[in-house]
Each structure stands twice: as structure tokens, then as C-alpha cells.
Amino acid sequence: MEHVHLAAEDEDDLYSGYNDYNPTFDAEELDNDAGFQQAVRTSHGRRPPSRVPLSSSMGRPMTGAVQDGAARPMTAVRAAGYSSAVARGSTFDPLGQSKGPAPPLEAKNEDTPEEKIKIMEKKVNDLIEESCLAHSRGDLQLALDKAKEAGRKERALVRQREQTGTADAINLDLSYSVLFNLANQYDNNGMYPEALNTYQVIVKNKMFTNAGRLKVNMANIYFKQKNYAKAIKFYRMALDQISNVHKEMRIKIMQNIGVAFIRMGQYSDAITSFEHIMSESPNLKTGFNLILCYYAIGDRERMKRSFQKLISVPLGIDEEDKYIPANDDPHTNMVIEAIKNDQLHQMERERKALAEKFIMTAAKLIAPVIESSFAVGFDWCVDMVKSSVYVELANDLELSKAITYLRQRDFNQAAETLKTFEKKDSRVKSAAATNLSFLYFLEKDHDQADHYANLAMNADHYNPAALVNKGNVIFVREDYVKAAEFYKEALRNDSSCTEGLYNLGLAYKRLGRLEDALDCFLKLHAILRNSSQVMYQIANLYEMLEDPHQATEWLMQLISITPTDPHILAKLGELYDNEGDKSQAFQYYSESYRYFPSNIEVIEWLAAYYIDTEFCEKAIKYFERATLIQPTQVKWHLMVASCYRRSGNYQKALETYKETHRRFPENVECLRFLVRLSTDMGLKDAQDYATKLKKVEKMKEIREQRVKSGRESSARTRREGSAGSDSGQSSHGTSAKGERQGIKLRALPGSSEPYEASPQRDIDASYVDPLGPQLERPKTAAKKHTEEDEFADEEYMNDLLP
């Protein structure tokens, strides 16, 4: 109240002076005001004005102004934050910002037991979360370590509560989470006993509600351990503790019980579980398992009934028509385009594909057994499918019928079945024509194969299998450039067409474009990591490119996949032999011989290796093996005898020469060895063998003269021509007769000479050992791949079926 101005008693008129005004505000006299006019014309008016308290027109102070320490009352604006008690020099601050920032909050006292317990609980929760995240990343060991650490900290937390006297406030949810996560991580790491013990701790604790459901997890562990009886026991215990409200969970547990019965071979009990499920909540997997059980016990009628149940299981998905634009509304089309490939549609496609897989597999399984023949069974399945929502599968079943004919090698019936699709829709027609083309290609009827390949391409030009078949037909006609174009087109339509890529590499290989061929096979290797054919082609191309080190590396990779392939082992031996590494070559040749002891090149190399290392007695078994493989080749018998002689066993060598002479009486080399050995050993048979040797040499000389005469007569006849006199004709006839005799003598050996005898070697009077330094070691022992072996007509182009 000190600033309130009170009227004095001597003031008669309280409102006097209100009609007076300050001449400063008189706008009418501004034109005559010299100061105002000067301020307008110059910068005089920009000077900061002096603060002079304003007064009313009558000289009366304004509202809120302070004059002589007193202020006029401000009662009308108190609600806006003004106050009548404003001291001189104070500022307007209704929000109180001049007081500065608020004081800081008081720090929590972490030394209290409650705060320590909260911090420990947060750490346990963080460890559980880290364990789950590590499991989602696939780091199972880290997930287990975090789960164990969470268990240790949780036990420390319980002890802390007990010490502070708050044991009644134990967080049961946290304890349950720790134990449950630990059991899961034990299970994921394959530590089944530890997982079962942890689950047992949870189940036996009565304070955990609904812990009995975890017996399903325990049953799953027993199932993994193949303890099916105990798994069924725990499944049933879990089933007893789950109410009928949770129908879906009960169905899944019963399905697991049925699968466990199948593993135990108790098909009747499995059928009971599956039949109950199909009556309560039918699904595709259970229907398929039911068919398998009836197939196992051979019940035809129930197989049929179960198949009908399977094809009547509702999929629970919408029709595909909703993804087809029905009008030209851009907004609707935009929505359809957005949902055409969303997660919901992908799930629907996956479910439909799974249903078709189950139905097709079941039909192929039961068709041969439900009727007198598999053809009648397939027809029944096709009729059932046509009357269901899976009408489009009927054509696929017909194709499966044709493929079954192929597997039974009934090609005529297969062809007849496939020809019935020529009047069907384009997709089925293309698939059938593709199979027919492949069928005729295998039968080497390339014209028919070409015809049906064209038919398949006309029905569906984007069919990669048809393009590959067309390229195959052109490939066998040796038009490799055109064949490569078809393979390229197949790859453009389907980049995952491995047959086209493989055959394109072969076409480049035939064209001599080795780098391009290598590029194709390297790309194919990135797709088919463990394909032995692809790896062999890469190694072969590196060998052709004269890079033996790379070829060896790829063959070593190939051996890791097919360690018992004798031809690859022999090829490795050949490469090491060419590089001069005899020890490595001997190792791989020996391995090749161990897996395939009938490769004559490998046998010859190993025998020559032992002769070079002067272990002739070890070479004997390989030459004896060669005599068994090629019994009409006299050189192997001579090699055996010579090894006996070089090893000092002259008696055995003599017996072997005698046996060889008995089998090949006109062999000059064998007789010469017999003469020499008999003479050295002082035997009486030496003279007899010498006589036989002279006789055989004389016969050989006569025979060679006759052959030479026949050749000269034949040459002279060709020079004379067909024209000549009668005497010339007679002479020609004689020459022709001589030629025929020469041919006869050249073509047919003597009465006791073997037909496959090797050409005889001219031997000097002195004895020359046939196993001396002049023996050449074979340079190759690997199987030579012919065009038929190299061309992937069966192994790499038979996957043309849809």
C-alpha cells in the first residue's frame, strides 16, 4: 500500500486535469514544429531518446509508472503476472527465468539393498537377452556362456535377498526365464543330459505355474536321442496337463506321438493318433503320414480312403484371382501389384506347393499297389485328383505315369503316354514333348528327338529343357556353333540351367575355345560345388592349356570327393610321372591298381617301375595279372619268364618258357630263349629246341616271301588296269589269284599261331634280354574319355523332366 496514492482532504476535485493534454501529442501543429521537421529531414531522429517518464495529457502519471517512489495501482493486470509492488529498477519477468536453472536432482544412493537388487536384476535380464541374440546369430557357444553367467548372477541375487531378509519377494519370473533359457541353450548345443536336468528342476518346482508344458521339450530331447518310448511317455504326460482349450497344441503333441510310433515300427498305434487328428483338425502332414502307415501295413482300401482325405484338406488360402487386375482402375491395380509378392502371398504359395508335393508323392507311392497294375492305380489317382481342388495336378500325375514307364524301361508305353499330351495346354504339352525328345535322344533316334524338341519349343519357347534338348541334337551332328547358341538361349531363359551351362562348356571345348570352356565350368563349379564331372572337366582343360600344376590341384580336389576312382588316381600318377616325381606317381598308380586291377596301362607302368628299380620278383605278379587280362598276348608270358630269369630262378624261368612254347609253338622269341637256357643249363632238350627254331624261322621266311609276292602282284594289277588282251586277262587272273593268296596268308596266321600275337622282333644271334634298357614305360594310364563319355547325354542332360 505504500505506493498507492491517496487523495488529500484539501483536493476538492479528484478528476480534475483529465481534459488537459500534452502539446507533444498535438498532431495539428507538427508542420510548425521546427524540431520535428529537422528530425524528418536529417538523422537527428535516429538518436536514442532519453528515457523520460510519460505523463498524461494533464501531467498526471500513467498507470504503473513510478514517480517519486510511488506507483499507480495495477489491479487490473495482476492475473497476467504484473504486480503493484514493483521496486524501482526491477525488470519484467513473469516466468521467473531470471532465477537461473533448477538445482540438480539428488543422486540415488546405490548402497541401499533395494538398489543393489534392482541393478542385479537388470544385469540378469541383459544377459538373457544377449544369450538369445547370440543364438539368433548362430553363435551357440556364446549363447550358452551367457546363459550360464545369467544363472550364476541369478543365484547371487537370491542369496542377496535372503541376506537382506526379503526372500519372500523373490522374482519367480526371472528365475523361470533364466532356467528355461539355460535348458534351451543346452539343447541347442547338443548337451541333452544337462538340458534334461535343467528342465527337471523347472518341472519339479511347484511355484512355477504351467511348468508341466515343458515336458514337451523333454520329450523332444528324448526323441532326438532316439529313446522313442520315453519320448511318448513324456508327450502323454504333457498332454494330460494341457486343457482342451489349447486344441492346436494338443493336436501337435498327438502328431509327435504318431511320428514316434512310426519310428518304433508300431504302425497301428500311429494310425490311431493320426486318425484322431484327421477327425478333429485335418492337416496335410498328418494325412500324408497316415497314408504312409497304411502303405506300411499294406491296407489298400484304407490307402484309398486316406488319399481322399488328403486331397480334401482345406488349405485356408484365398484364390489366385484376387491377384489379377479386374478393371482399369489405377488405384486398384497399384494395390494388387503391391500385394502380389508380399509375405502373405509368399506364404500362400509355399503352402500350396507343400500340398502339391504331398499329394504327388502319395499318389506315386500308392499307385503301384492299390490296383492290379500301376497304370490302373495311376488312373484312379488321376480321377480322384480331377474331382478335387487340385485339378491341375492331374496332368502332372500323367507325366509321372510316363516317367514310371521309363524307369521300368517300357519305352513304348512311355512314348504313348507322353503323346497323349499333344492336344493339352501349352505348359503340359511342352513338358511332354521335352520328355519325348529326351527319350528319343537316349535311343539315338536323333530325328525324332529333333522333332519333339521343336514341338516343345513351339509350345513354350522359354522352356530351357527344350532348348537344351535341341542343342544336344545339333551337338551330336557336330554343329557346335549352333548348339552353343541354343545352350546360351537356355541360360538366358533360366540362369540356373546347369545342363545348358555344362554342355555349353563342352561345345566350346570342341570348338577349341578352351578359355571360354574353362569359364563355363568354373561358373558351374560355383553352383555345383561337389560335382565330380565338373571338376574333372576343369582339370582336363588345365591340362590341355599346358598348366599341369592347376590340373593336379583340381584332380586332388576331385580325389577328396571320389577317393576310389581308379582312373582319376591313374591320371594323377601320369601327371606326376610327366613331372619326374616317380615316388608320387608310384603311389597313385598303386592306389589305382588296388581299386581296379584290370587296367593294363597301370599294370604295365607298375611292372616297368619295379624292373627299373631292379625288383624283378615284384614285377612278376603284375605281368601275371596281364596274362590273365590278355591271355593271347605272348609278350606278357615272356615278361614273366624273363623276370624269373633275372631274379635268378632259372628253373622257374625254364618252366615258364616251356609253357609259353606249348601255347605259342611258332613264337620265335620263346624258342630262342629256350635254346639259350637249355644250353646254359646243359639240358638235352637244347638240340630239339634248336631244330624247332630253325624250322619255325624257315616257315616264317616262306610266309613273308608269299606275302611280299602277293603285294607286288596286287600293285602290278592296279597299274595295268582293267583293259588288256586275253593273255593279259589270264595274267591278270593269275595275279589276282596270287593277291588272294597273299591276303589269305596275311590275314590268317599259322595253324598254331595266336591271332593276337604281337609282331615278332628280330633278335641277333647273341641273346638280348627283352626287359633291358630298351623297354619303354607307358606314359599314360588314365582312362581315355571318348566323345560318348565326355558328352553329358545321360548324366547331365537327363534332368530335363519337369
The per-residue pLDDT for range 509-538, each reduced to its tens digit, is 999 999 999 999 999 999 998 899 999 999
- The pLDDT value recorded for residue 511 is 93
Alpha carbons 7 and 742: distance in angstroms, whole number? 168
- Percent of the chain past pLDDT 90, that is, above it, reads 34
Could you identify the residue written with the cell 646254359? 680
Mean pLDDT on 743-767 = 31
Mean pLDDT on 764-771 = 32
At 290, the pLDDT band (50, 70, 90 cuts) reads: very high
- The pLDDT value recorded for residue 760 is 35
- Residue 442, pLDDT > 70, answer yes
Average pLDDT of the chain is 78
Q: Do 739 and 710 form a contact (C-beta atoms < 8 A)?
A: yes
- Residue 73, pLDDT > 60, answer no
Lowest mean pLDDT among 54-58, 386-390, 679-683: 54-58
Degrees, nearest 5: CA angle 591-593-598: 160
Alpha carbons 229 and 103: distance in angstroms, whole number? 70
- The pLDDT value recorded for residue 12 is 55
Q: Do 72 and 63 form a contact (C-beta atoms < 8 A)?
A: yes
Secondary-structure percent of the chain, ordered helix, strand, coil, rounded to 5: 70, 0, 30
Highest mean pLDDT among 257-266, 415-424, 755-764: 257-266
Identify the CATH number of the domain in which residue 448 sits.
Answer: 1.25.40.10
Residue 429 makes CB contacts below 8 A (sequence gap 6+) with 421, 422, 423, 455, 456, 459, 460
More confident residue, 45 or 513: 513
- The pLDDT value recorded for residue 479 is 93
Q: Residue 226 domain-assigned?
A: no
The range of the structural domain enclosing residue 645 comes to: 624-707
- Residue 81, pLDDT > 90, answer no
> Nine-digit cell at 172?
519367480
Q: Do 185 and 144 form a contact (C-beta atoms < 8 A)?
A: yes
User: How far are the Cα atoms of 231, 253, 260 from residue 225, in angstroms, in the given order?
Assistant: 9, 18, 12
At 789, the pLDDT band (50, 70, 90 cuts) reads: very low
Q: Residue 511 domain-assigned?
A: yes
Residue 460 zone, left/alpha/beta (φ > 0; ψ -120 to 50; rest) = beta
Alpha carbons 314 and 287: distance in angstroms, whole number? 12
SS3 293: helix
pLDDT tens, residue by residue, 135-149? 999 999 999 999 999
Q: Do 728 and 720 form a contact (C-beta atoms < 8 A)?
A: yes
Q: Do 568 and 538 form a contact (C-beta atoms < 8 A)?
A: no
- The pLDDT value recorded for residue 323 is 66
At 590, the pLDDT band (50, 70, 90 cuts) reads: very high
Q: Given 528, 543, 576, which residue is the final one in a domain?
A: 528
> Nine-digit cell at 540?
582336363
Handedness of CA 411, 413, 417, 422 (dihedral sign): positive
Lowest mean pLDDT among 173-177, 330-334, 567-571: 330-334
Q: Do 795 and 615 form a contact (C-beta atoms < 8 A)?
A: no
Q: Based on the structure, what is the number of domains in the chain?
A: 2
- The pLDDT value recorded for residue 292 is 92
- Residue 726, pLDDT > 60, answer no
Could you identify the residue written with the cell 500323367? 398
Residue 54 makes CB contacts below 8 A (sequence gap 6+) with 62, 65
Burial label, 171 (beta-carbon count in 10 A; 0-12, 13-18, 19+):
middle
Q: Residue 126 domain-assigned?
A: no
- The pLDDT value recorded for residue 674 is 87
- The pLDDT value recorded for residue 540 is 94
SS3 61: strand
Lowest mean pLDDT among 117-131, 229-243, 748-762: 748-762
The enclosing H or E element of 785 equals none
- The pLDDT value recorded for residue 749 is 33
pTM: 0.54
Q: Residue 403 domain-assigned?
A: no
What type of residue sits at position 790?
A: E
- The pLDDT value recorded for residue 65 is 52
Q: Given 528, 556, 582, which residue is the final one in a domain?
A: 528
What SS3 string covers 450-501?
HHHHHHHHHHCCCCHHHHHHHHHHHHHCCCHHHHHHHHHHHHHHCCCCHHHH
Alpha carbons 574 and 64: distance in angstroms, whole number? 116
Q: Residue 587 domain-assigned?
A: no
At 738, the pLDDT band (50, 70, 90 cuts) reads: very low
Q: Do 180 and 211 form a contact (C-beta atoms < 8 A)?
A: no
Mean pLDDT on 29-41 = 72
pLDDT tens, residue by residue, 456-504? 888 888 889 999 999 999 999 999 999 999 999 999 999 889 999 999 9
Could you identify the residue written with the cell 479386374? 326
What type of residue sits at position 338?
A: A
Q: Residue 282 domain-assigned?
A: no
The length of the chain in residues reads: 802
Q: Do 261 and 269 form a contact (C-beta atoms < 8 A)?
A: yes
User: How far are the Cα atoms of 523, 573, 575, 681, 760 from residue 605, in angstroms, in the given order?
Assistant: 36, 10, 13, 32, 22
Alpha carbons 745 and 792: distance in angstroms, whole number? 45
Closest Cα partner for 221 from 254, 176, 174, 256? 256
Closest Cα partner for 232 from 247, 244, 248, 220? 220
- Residue 2, pLDDT > 80, answer no
Q: Residue 445 domain-assigned?
A: yes
The Cβ of residue 99 has, within 10 Å, a number of other Cβ atoms equal to: 8
Q: Residue 605 domain-assigned?
A: no
- The pLDDT value recorded for residue 60 is 52
- Residue 785, pLDDT > 70, answer no
Alpha carbons 395 and 416: distance in angstroms, whole number? 15
Residue 756's φ and ψ, nearest 5 degrees, are -110, 25
What type of residue sits at position 102?
A: A
Q: Given 707, 742, 757, which residue is the final one in a domain?
A: 707
pLDDT tens, residue by residue, 320-348? 666 666 667 777 777 777 777 778 878 88
> Nine-digit cell at 332?
486398384
Alpha carbons 204 and 212: distance in angstroms, whole number? 9
- The pLDDT value recorded for residue 351 is 86
More confident residue, 402 or 611: 611
- Residue 230, pLDDT > 90, answer yes
The Cβ of residue 215 has, within 10 Å, a number of other Cβ atoms equal to: 23
